[in-house]
Structure 1
């Protein structure tokens, strides 16, 4: 193995000469001042569009029906329900079953309310 002097840095290790550290410039005012925000952009904070009204999703029905292919569907609920179907007839049955689950789901219809209504 031969020793070749390979520089460790790509640039010159000499300390540059010239002015000292950067100094802040005076603020520019008037027409030549740079724009902080693009024109037409609102800077005020908008009200939260996703403000909660107490409702939240409990059950999901996902249907995939590509053209000229076999449809599939899944029915999931936070109560633990997780069902799936493949084929047109079974997907239609799962849709009906998912809609019926709305009335029987313990998360959507608390048990005390059902007894009081009876």
Structure 2
């Protein structure tokens, strides 16, 4: 009794976070790097502001990582635009 139906015996049910317990933060930008051993690395940088960049090769992936980090300071979704022109 009390066991959820449809779950195999001995398999714990998945624990999911309570969506009502958020701290107000949410993801805005993603950096995905794929670098399997012995292959050419690739990376993708995406942001909700519309930014979508890709890189292939060691040097270009490293440059995209640096560019993705720099985007944090210039993204219009992360920094308020009011008063920026006056500064």
TM range (shorter): 0.7 to 0.9
Decide which structure has greater strand share: 2
Count matched residues.
Answer: 74
Of 85, 91, 96, the residue aligned with 2:61 is: 91
1:1-118 to 2 correspondence within 5 Å? 36-37=1-2, 48=18, 51-112=21-82, 114=84, 118=87
Task: Note closer, same or farther for the CA distance 1:72–1:112 as it changes in structure 2 (3 Å cut).
Answer: same
Deviation at 1:48, TM superposition (A): 2.5
Distance 2:84 2:22 in 1: 26
Structure 1 stretches of at least 4 aligned residues deviating more than 4 Å after TM superposition? 113-116
Task: Note closer, same or farther for the CA distance 1:110–1:83 as it changes in structure 2 (3 Å cut).
Answer: same
In terms of Rg, which structure is larger? 1
Q: Which runs of 5+ in 1 are unaligned?
A: 1-35, 39-46
